[in-house]
């Protein structure tokens, strides 16, 4: 049975049982606790906690999930995946254990002809929480499972939570026995490779508190209602129904491995280490495509770092398999072709996905090139010192700082006849992980307690009137402060105010919230911010400046008109800049985020490489041309599918409802899904001035601009600045660029002359150092502090000059600088000194600790830096002793 069919049967089964099908949420659902959605129930957490009331009592979904905690085990085992699909059925206070077990058993064991999966009931096992006698009794009654195929397990295995304060409860897991050829008898407790978990039924009934592990947390008490949350692993069911050994051999994953075989010339199944690399490619390619599809771009932290790491592991694994040419394009194409039946957006967004993935591969291949050079330097230093082991710290720096994979370091070390201190490397990696784990734990929080808003959310959404008016009569539904309802607030008091209707825009979609006022006879309230709760309830964060406000009062809610005018200019200007970007750079320059406020906008977009001056000028010109065209701004509400068919732009990672608001400016020039406020005609935006363009992550660029009056003020300031420069230079304004260029060139010439004079001054001291040479055995040694102010670059030049003055004599020159709190040093040995065994690279270890430094190099020259200038005398003494040991006293 194909994977797409497994998904379809699951949803059909539960829809027939009265469950509402709910689309998969984006992998980057807005949740402060999660980088990515990692379970099917995540989008339903507010329902389980009773913070919101769903419009349905039963739901079913197939949720996209990503878990990266076990990334190092991906490929090593056949049970770990980063991307997977979790099919689930959910009850919100409707049914409980009996129905959950009945639904699961029916789908698993019903015949294929009757819409089921056709699993052999005699090979199904179940587990239950230690004291869950009810679940065990139901398994016996409903499924007829004998006692020996039901196992009780502890909290770590059969009590489910998200790992943070939130909903939790005992669970019952369903396992399938693959047969004795896969392991020992004894059920899941004995062997979870033979007995594969395929479905987890969570009886969500409690709320947990803080804790440090799966079985170390406090149960705070029962949830408002008993709920059901189940998760069936689609990929695991697939490999069982397709009669293959593991998920990597299923219909949606094996094609990527086949492509890797084709590109590398290797065969999957012939070598364990190669198989690990094949599986890494197959797993990570799927995950990367799904992440990019949901709006993630490679970066140096957070979600972007995870994606970057996955893509780089693909490149690394392909290279280690022997694929010498770029291969990312082929892998992502296979993922698109296999996954698109369930995720058709992979087809419509493929150009963007492909561009980002291939761009990261290109960048990393360049990193591999530079990393190889760094490795060669490290290897040469080890060899020149007579050693055979590359330090774990060197391997760690290559990995952590330069992104050079440890596998390649090991491989290249072996080719060079060296080994790597893997224990030292692993130790440093472990320390880094512990720091990261502690940081992640510190950033984890319980879900924000929204209980105080629950009744207000259930009452219905706030009526937003701000599209049509700037002031509205409204009733105060609630006053809240410190997480509790209060009956009244008086002068000087900060308070959150919930109204039944409001013209003030709540922050969303990159547009900052409106500011404004609430008033009534004897009352004045300043609204400083407006935020949404559960995406439907407007909460006005306010300060009472005069009088007293009480729940139930009728007030006049007013938007500050100057703020709103500037805000609409900024938001509409954002749409115009977006349209210009797509026109100049192409359709793949899609929005990755934005911020707009009165007079200012910034627009993030997916694009590889910096913009040229010409492109920036063209974007500004096209934007202002569209502004001056006085396009009418039209808004309308339509179905999501119809809006997409019309070509409306959507923000990746955003979850939209069935009906969406479309803002259209100039027909095809700009058509976007947007819930913000806008001008009536494009000319009301006023001039748009592009301030600059920069990178905010790999493959993501940012344009910033002023609009309206702020644009005019900026241009006026620039004009005054230009006039001042022209006056100082005594030339007309249009001649300023040429005159400045001339001055810059003259300055460069002067700097070169100064540099030459300074270098000559440094070299003039060379002869004095020759005079300070001491004979140690058969070698002349110069070991001295460098002249004050000599930096690392000059130090190398000076040492080379001193060494050259010794001609064919055996001599070693070592100078130590002291500049800006650092102690740069350079050591150099003549050929004759090297012949008696004194090599520069091998001397550094003898004196480096004295100055708190490190370094390395080859036999003729080594360099590095320390941090303790007070240790220079000790370093010189240590160096003398080491030369004496080698060359004789």
Kind and range of the H or E element at 581? helix 561-585
674 is in an annotated binding site: yes
Beta strand pairing call for 195-213 and 216-233: antiparallel
- Report the C-alpha gap between 391 and 382 in whole angstroms: 9
Contacts of 797 (CB under 8 A, 6+ apart): 759, 762, 763
Burial (0-12, 13-18, 19+ Cβ within 10 Å), 527: buried
- Report the C-alpha gap between 779 and 782 in whole angstroms: 10
If DSSP codes are grouped into helix, strand and coil, which group holds residue 223?
strand
If DSSP codes are grouped into helix, strand and coil, which group holds residue 692?
strand
Task: Check if the beta carbon of residue 495 is closer than 8 Å to that of residue 486.
Answer: yes
Among 97, 47, 33, residue whose Cα is nearest residue 457:
47
- Report the C-alpha gap between 49 and 447 in whole angstroms: 9
Task: Check if the beta carbon of residue 592 is closer than 8 Å to that of residue 296.
Answer: no
Report the sign of the C-alpha dihedral through residues 98, 102, 105, 107, in that order.
negative
The C-alpha R_g of the chain, in whole angstroms, comes to 34
Rounded to 10°, the helix 350-384/328-339 angle is: 140
**3-state DSSP helix/strand/coil % of the chain, to nearest 5:** 45, 25, 30
445 is in an annotated binding site: no
- Report the C-alpha gap between 90 and 332 in whole angstroms: 33
What count of other Cβ atoms lies within 10 Å of the Cβ of residue 724? 10
CA distance readout (Å), 457 to 397, 461, 857: 52, 7, 67
- Report the C-alpha gap between 833 and 859 in whole angstroms: 10
Among 264, 255, 250, residue whose Cα is nearest residue 78:
250
Contacts of 884 (CB under 8 A, 6+ apart): 776, 777
272 is in an annotated binding site: no
CA distance readout (Å), 62 to 9, 162, 234, 652, 669: 11, 18, 8, 19, 36
Burial (0-12, 13-18, 19+ Cβ within 10 Å), 87: buried
13 is in an annotated binding site: no
**How many helices, marked H, and strands, marked E, lie in the chain?**
26, 35
Name the binding residues for Zn(2+).
571, 575, 674, 678
Name the binding residues.
571, 575, 674, 678
């Amino acid at each position: 049975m194909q994977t797409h069919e497994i998904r379809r049967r699951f949803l059909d089964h539960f829809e027939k049982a009265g469950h509402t099908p709910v689309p998969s949420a984006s992998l980057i659902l807005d949740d402060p606790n999660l980088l990515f959605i990692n379970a099917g129930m995540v989008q339903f957490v507010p329902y389980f906690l009773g913070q919101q009331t769903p419009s349905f009592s039963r739901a079913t979904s197939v949720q996209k999930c990503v878990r990266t905690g076990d990334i190092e085990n991906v490929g090593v085992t056949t049970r770990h995946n980063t991307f997977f699909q979790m099919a689930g059925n959910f009850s919100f206070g409707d049914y409980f254990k009996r129905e959950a077990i009945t639904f699961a058993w029916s789908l698993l064991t019903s015949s294929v002809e009757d819409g089921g999966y056709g699993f052999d009931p005699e090979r199904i096992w179940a587990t239950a929480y230690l004291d869950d006698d009810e679940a065990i009794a139901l398994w016996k009654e409903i499924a007829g499972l004998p006692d020996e195929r039901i196992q009780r397990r502890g909290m770590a295995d059969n009590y489910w939570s998200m790992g943070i304060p939130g909903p939790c409860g005992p669970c019952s897991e369903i396992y399938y026995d693959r047969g004795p050829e896969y392991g020992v008898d004894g059920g899941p407790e004995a062997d979870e490779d033979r007995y594969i978990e395929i479905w987890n039924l969570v009886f969500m009934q409690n709320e947990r508190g803080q804790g440090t592990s799966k079985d170390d947390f406090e149960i705070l008490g029962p949830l408002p209602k008993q709920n059901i949350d189940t998760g069936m692993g689609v990929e695991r069911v697939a490999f069982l129904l397709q009669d293959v050994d593991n998920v990597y051999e299923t219909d949606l994953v094996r094609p990527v491995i086949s492509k890797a075989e084709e590109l590398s010339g290797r065969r999957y199944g012939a070598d364990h280490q190669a198989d690990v690399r094949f599986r890494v490619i197959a797993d990570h390619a799927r995950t990367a495509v799904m992440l990019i599809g949901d709006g993630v771009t490679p970066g140096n932290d957070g979600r972007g770092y995870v994606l970057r790491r996955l893509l780089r592991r693909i490149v690394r694994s392909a290279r280690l398999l022997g694929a010498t040419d770029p291969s990312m394009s082929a892998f992502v194409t296979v993922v698109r072709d296999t996954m698109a039946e369930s995720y058709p957006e992979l087809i419509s967004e493929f150009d963007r996905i492909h561009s980002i993935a291939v761009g990261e591969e290109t960048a990393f291949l360049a990193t591999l090139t530079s990393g190889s050079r760094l490795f060669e330097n490290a290897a040469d230093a080890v060899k020149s010192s007579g050693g055979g082991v590359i330090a774990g710290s060197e391997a760690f720096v290559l990995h952590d700082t330069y992104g050079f994979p440890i596998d390649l370091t090991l491989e290249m070390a072996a080719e060079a006849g060296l080994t790597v201190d893997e224990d030292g490397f692993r130790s440093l990696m472990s320390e880094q992980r512990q720091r990261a784990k502690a940081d992640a734990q510190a950033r984890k929080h319980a879900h924000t307690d929204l209980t105080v808003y629950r009744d207000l959310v259930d009452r219905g959404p706030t009526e937003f009137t701000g599209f049509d008016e700037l002031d509205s009569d409204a009733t105060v539904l609630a006053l809240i402060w410190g997480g509790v309802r209060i009956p009244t607030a008086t002068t000087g008091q900060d308070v959150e105010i919930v109204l039944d209707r409001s013209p003030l825009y709540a922050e969303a979609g990159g547009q900052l919230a409106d500011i404004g006022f609430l008033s009534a006879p004897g009352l004045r309230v300043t609204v400083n911010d407006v935020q949404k709760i559960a995406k439907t309830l407007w909460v006005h964060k306010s300060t009472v400046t005069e009088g007293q406000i009480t729940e139930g009062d009728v007030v006049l809610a007013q938007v500050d008109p100057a703020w709103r005018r500037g805000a609409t200019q900024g938001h509409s200007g954002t749409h115009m800049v977006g349209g210009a970007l797509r026109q100049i750079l192409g359709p793949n320059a899609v929005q990755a985020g934005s911020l707009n406020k009165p007079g200012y906008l910034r627009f993030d977009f997916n694009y590889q490489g910096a913009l040229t001056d010409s492109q920036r000028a063209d974007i500004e010109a096209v934007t202002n041309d569209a502004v001056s065209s006085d396009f009418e701004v039209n808004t309308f509400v339509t179905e999501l599918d119809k809006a997409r068919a019309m070509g409306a732009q959507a923000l990746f990672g955003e979850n939209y409802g069935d009906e969406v608001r479309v803002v259209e400016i100039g027909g095809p020039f700009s058509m976007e899904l947007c819930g913000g406020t806008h001008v009536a005609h494009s000319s009301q935006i006023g001039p748009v001035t592009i301030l600059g363009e920069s990178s905010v992550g790999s493959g993501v660029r940012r344009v910033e601009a002023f609009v309206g009056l702020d644009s005019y003020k900026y241009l006026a300031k620039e004009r005054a600045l230009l006039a001042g420069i022209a006056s100082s230079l005594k030339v007309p304004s249009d001649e300023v660029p040429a005159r400045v260029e001339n001055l810059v060139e003259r300055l460069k010439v002067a700097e070169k002359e100064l540099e030459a004079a300074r270098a000559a001054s440094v070299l003039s001291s060379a002869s004095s150092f020759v005079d300070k040479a001491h004979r140690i055995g058969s070698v002349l040694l110069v070991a001295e502090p460098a002249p004050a102010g000599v930096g690392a670059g000059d130090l190398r030049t000076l040492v080379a000059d001193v060494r050259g003055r010794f001609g064919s004599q055996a001599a070693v020159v070592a100078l130590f600088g002291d500049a800006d709190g650092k102690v740069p040093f350079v050591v150099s040995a003549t050929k004759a000194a090297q012949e008696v065994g004194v090599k520069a690279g091998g001397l550094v270890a003898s004196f480096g600790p004295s100055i708190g430094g490190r370094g390395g190099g080859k036999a003729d020259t080594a360099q590095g830096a320390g941090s303790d200038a007070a240790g220079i005398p000790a370093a010189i003494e240590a160096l003398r002793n080491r030369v004496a040991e080698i060359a004789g006293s």
